Structure 1
Amino acid sequence: MTESTALKSEHRTVLLRGGEVHSPADPFATAMVVEKGHVAWVGSEGAADAFAPGVDEVVDLEGALVTPAFTDAHVHTTATGLALTGLDLSSAATLAEAAALVRAHARERTADRVLTGHGWDASRWPEARPPRRDELDELTGGRPLYLTRIDVHSAVVTTAMLDLVPGVRAMDGFRDGEPLTGDAHHAVREAAYAAVSPAQRADAQRAALRRAASLGIGTVHECGGPRISSEDDFTGLLELARAEPGPRVVGYWADRDVERALALGAAGAAGDLFVDGSLGSHTACLHEPYADAPHTGTAHLDAGDVAAHVVACTEAGLQAGFHAIGDGALTAVADGLRAAAAKLGLARVRAARHRVEHAEMLTPETVAAFAEFGLTASVQPAFDAAWGGDDGMYAQRLGAGRARTLNPYAALLRAGVPLAFGSDSPVTPLDPWGTVRAAAFHRTPAHRVSVRAAFTAHTRGGWRAVGRDDAGVLVPGAPADYALWSTGALVVQAPDDRVARWSTDPRSGTPGLPDLTPGGELPRCLRTVVAGHTVFEGPNG
């Protein structure tokens, strides 16, 4: 695994005691010893007394829950930081509210050469439309503004922003009066992010990693690429993570140039290597037309392209990966993997642990293909929480029947497909416990998984997705990446609304997790530790 972290293994020995340690090594563990940046022992409070004389520090957990730190398997770190420190429209309930936020941001950021913002979602607004260019021109005083839709697959911009990109009006994806998509969007995004100074970029990256650490996230998978950010952004983030304490950063570079991905220090030529776009922007590639548009979206790669990339990555010893959302795109991925396996042999393809991001519109046939070819499904349960249901954006785009087939996590697990959970932040926020809740209480009950399975996908699943089977779990020998939590009573939860509260029965033999029933309070992070070093400590940590 190629990763960036400033934290070498901590050589001090620490005893944590007096809490609840979530460990398959001992379902009733209340104490843990950390030595040289790794878990050395887990067990009972009484047995911990034997370790106390030889440790450098004793931490009284005061009843806190100790779990493995979360891994967010799909993050756009700089964009997340820019949203945290700048213009974020994700909370706007109306077009008027969004307009007020844009106006206020333009007045505050007088020194910015280009204004950037994120998060509008017209499907949630009563006006059911994005802001027009003339409206944005007035709100910004005629300054350049780049404003992405919540899915980051389309954007609205000002006239001055268009004028910074020669020829954009002739590019694919430019339709006067509509949000930018395709090549036009990529060209404008490149110009907007090029105007962000290196200092602004580093500040945004720090803000994103600080937020991740404060939520018990110990590792993020950065999904960069030439059509998403820039090489300087990608390498700058990896260098910052090497130089400063914080979460581990595993970098994926979405480029068909495998040698370039290797040269940049990427763990894979993977991540958002676009086979298609998104449902919200009508650019996901479908077999049948959208319910609210007379077309089937956009295909960027076909099965032949997929096969060639998988072969090149496998032969280079690198992970391949693709962004694929629509059923048409996922069929292309499955067909491409089948062709690659025919050339290289199934065992070699499976051993490489290639991955697919989002994988929303799966069919029984593509689920079976994921299992056959050993693909990891890097998925975002918060998408269903935000856009699922019979009245949500998915139903608007696809009709309620097709919408109910999306994000079939239970079917993936039944087929033996590895799951790695993430946020796609800033598309949906960094929110690991909210992500676990979203998977356990999926809007389509048939797709729900247990809290335990969801938690595993958001901890151990992220490590397995980068080829590490020895981490993401608190057992002796594992990296000491963990978080302390203030939470209520622990329970063992079923994969639907029924919550089995028999976990206090010692015969269960299963570590408990917080009750994540919708409406309840989520656990609060007290401390996050990476490789034995504390990277976040709250007021009561």
Structure 2
Amino acid sequence: MWLMINVNGYTFASGKEKFEAALIDGNRIAAVGSKDELMLQYGTQAETVNLDGATVIPGLVDSHAHLAETGKQFMQLNLSSVRSKAELLNLIRTHAATLPSAAWVIGGGWDENRFVDRGLPTLEQLDEAAGGRPLLLKRICHHAYMANTQALSRAGLSLYPADPNDGRYGRDESGRFNGVVYENASIPIQNAVPSWSPAQWKDALRIAMNQALASGLTSVHSDDTRSFGNFSDTWHAYRSLMDTEGLRLGIHELVDWSLLDEAISAGPDLPQEDDWLELGAAKLFADGAFGGRTALLQEPYTDSPDWYGTAMYDDEELYRRVRYAHERGVPAAIHAIGDAALDMALTAIERAPRIKRRDRIVHAQMIRPDLVQRMRSLGSQLALDIQPRFVCSDFPWVVERVGSARAKSVCAWRTMQDAGLHLCGGSDSPIEPLQPLFGIHAAVTRRDAYASDGGYAMEQAYSPEEAIHLFSHGAVFATGKEQVKGTIAPGKLADFTVLDRDIVHPADVNDIRDAQVLHTIVGGEFAYSRNRHENQWSTA
């Protein structure tokens, strides 16, 4: 039993906003109150930890991330900072030169909308930069790729490949492949890349979990089973990192729908769920993303008038998959960015048999008034998993994609909250930074963290307190565990994020961005302390 004192604490629980001290007994909060009150009652019984005025808030939670892919990004060619086609090609050349002649050049994070020249390399340029090696590079959204001639050859594809129903190949005027691949057209190429071993994926998880703790996260809802290729190896990797190596980070693991049967059948033979590891929803995709024009829209793209985007399934197939999950007691988590995709996802959820656990829409990036009303009708059955940093990455170029009128319905979080919908906040890392303070800052400012100009559509902005709620109670609500954690109150898990400054009532809005994580306390244990773990996340 121990007592934290001298804190600038915010409970985020109704009825008692501030506190100066908290008593932790095991992995639970035993009492919250004033320093004098708790010292008088417990000062002789409990070890005292003086936090010297640090700000303490409920443990932050990321409602949507890909920890395995986040760790992998640190182990491969990272293109997230590239700002021109020339810089991209130079990085490919430099990295390729370090590899054996037959090795794949693998990486990702590129976003051509941030390039000063806004163009992509030609197929011939990709071939030259890779030096005869096969190349596959994911776009930042993970819904488009660059590949070269050698990659298609390894996949058994010609330079005139047929498009699948759930993807397409970029082409020049003659119909020849131009180096860009969209959605599931990438699968034959991905299948040709040598698979990572479970041990390599475990290494990636270790890196990402340590990074999460250093960022102030106490829990993450992660989507990793597609990376591992199966559920059992994913579960065993997390259990080993937690139970053997002592990594203390809560994981709510979503399972790809294709692996749902394996997850259910393997359950009795696997180490069981506990406060730190639990099985989440079945992950499904209704569409793609705005960047590659694969988000599914009701009306065509403004900058491509004959194109509506890409549906991953037709209406009946998506409904069948949601119903299949519900019949097994598992909720659905459906990726839907375009308004037509959101329409499909809601229809599937509305038609499927009701279950106790909550479904979620992942992203819900473009809305319409009729869709807001339908989401409202679903009440507490539905959580909306939003990514505040998307406004930094997608504006202003998304206006070119969908036009100024529809752009007002993109990232319209205030509209959804005011309608009484249940929102939670995530990063979608590695697509956006894992750091939750960046997400909270984006929800408040609606601009890039270091931009000097004003935010986009500020009428949709959140207050700091509302934004923190997204990444705490809101994220916990999506899992149905709001009675267990998400606020600071007696009986709840002792999960705290400890910061060097006040971000609930910041003196300056950029204090949210600049705040330093001093401690991440998970289940009553100091899982991260800045003075003891500096740079730990970057090493195996």
TM-score by length of structure 2 reads 0.86
Q: Does residue 320 of the first structure (1) align with residue 332 of the second (2)? A: yes
Mean CA deviation greater in 64-73 or 434-443: 434-443
Q: Does residue 385 of the first structure (1) align with residue 387 of the second (2)? A: no
Residue 275 of structure 2 is matched in structure 1 by none
Q: Does residue 437 of the first structure (1) align with residue 449 of the second (2)? A: no
Q: 1:338 & 1:429 partners in 2: Cα distance?
A: 33
Does the C-alpha gap of structure 1 residues 406 and 37 become closer, same or farther in structure 2, counting only changes over 3 Å?
Answer: same
Residue 54 of structure 1 is matched in structure 2 by 45
State the shift of 1:180 in Å.
0.7
Q: Would the aligned equivalents of 1:146 and 1:157 in 2 still touch at CA under 8 Å? A: yes
Q: Would the aligned equivalents of 2:148 and 2:179 in 1 still touch at CA under 8 Å? A: no
Q: Could you list the per-position Cα deviations for residues 388-443 of structure 1 after superposition, in whole angstroms to 9, with x for gaps in the alignment?
A: 2xxx2211211222112102111211222111110111111112111112112232
Does the C-alpha gap of structure 1 residues 241 and 393 become closer, same or farther in structure 2, counting only changes over 3 Å?
Answer: farther
Q: Does residue 372 of the first structure (1) align with residue 377 of the second (2)? A: yes
Q: 2:382 & 2:408 partners in 1: Cα distance?
A: 23
Q: Does residue 409 of the first structure (1) align with residue 401 of the second (2)? A: no
Secondary structure of the corresponding residue to residue 119 of structure 2: coil
State the shift of 1:132 in Å.
2.6
Does the C-alpha gap of structure 1 residues 141 and 519 become closer, same or farther in structure 2, counting only changes over 3 Å?
Answer: farther
Residue 310 of structure 1 is matched in structure 2 by 322
State the shift of 1:178 in Å.
4.1
Trace 1:267-346 onto structure 2 (pairs within 5 A): 267-271=279-283, 273-293=284-304, 294-340=306-352, 344=353
Residue 428 of structure 2 is matched in structure 1 by 424
Mean CA deviation greater in 202-211 or 512-521: 512-521
Q: 2:59 & 2:467 partners in 1: Cα distance?
A: 14
- Residue of structure 2 aligned with 1:249, choices 251, 266, 284: 251
Q: 1:71 & 1:80 partners in 2: Cα distance?
A: 16
Q: 1:414 & 1:249 partners in 2: Cα distance?
A: 30
Q: 1:352 & 1:115 partners in 2: Cα distance?
A: 42
Residue 4 of structure 1 is matched in structure 2 by none
- Residue of structure 1 aligned with 2:5, choices 1, 17, 20: 17
Does the C-alpha gap of structure 1 residues 86 and 174 become closer, same or farther in structure 2, counting only changes over 3 Å?
Answer: same
State the shift of 1:204 in Å.
1.6
Q: 1:379 & 1:164 partners in 2: Cα distance?
A: 37
Q: Would the aligned equivalents of 1:119 and 1:427 in 2 still touch at CA under 8 Å? A: yes
Residue 222 of structure 1 is matched in structure 2 by 222
Q: 1:362 & 1:517 partners in 2: Cα distance?
A: 28
Q: 1:47 & 1:236 partners in 2: Cα distance?
A: 44
Trace 1:98-117 onto structure 2 (pairs within 5 A): 98-110=88-100, 113-117=103-107
State the shift of 1:247 in Å.
1.4
Does the C-alpha gap of structure 1 residues 96 and 537 become closer, same or farther in structure 2, counting only changes over 3 Å?
Answer: same
State the shift of 1:387 in Å.
1.4
Q: 1:110 & 1:126 partners in 2: Cα distance?
A: 32
Secondary structure of the corresponding residue to residue 309 of structure 1: helix
State the shift of 1:237 in Å.
4.0
CA-atom RMSD in angstroms: 2.3
Q: Does residue 80 of the first structure (1) align with residue 81 of the second (2)? A: no
Does the C-alpha gap of structure 1 residues 446 and 220 become closer, same or farther in structure 2, counting only changes over 3 Å?
Answer: same
Q: Would the aligned equivalents of 1:261 and 1:268 in 2 still touch at CA under 8 Å? A: no
Residue 200 of structure 1 is matched in structure 2 by 200
Q: 1:111 & 1:16 partners in 2: Cα distance?
A: 57
Mean CA deviation greater in 438-447 or 517-526: 517-526
Q: What 5-or-longer segments of structure 2 have no aligned partner?
A: 171-176, 268-277, 447-455, 534-540
Residue 136 of structure 1 is matched in structure 2 by 126
Secondary structure of the corresponding residue to residue 124 of structure 2: helix
State the shift of 1:134 in Å.
2.4
Residue 174 of structure 1 is matched in structure 2 by 169
Q: 2:190 & 2:361 partners in 1: Cα distance?
A: 24
Does the C-alpha gap of structure 1 residues 314 and 231 become closer, same or farther in structure 2, counting only changes over 3 Å?
Answer: same
Number of residue pairs aligned between Structure 1 and Structure 2:
493
- Residue of structure 2 aligned with 1:362, choices 363, 367, 370: 367
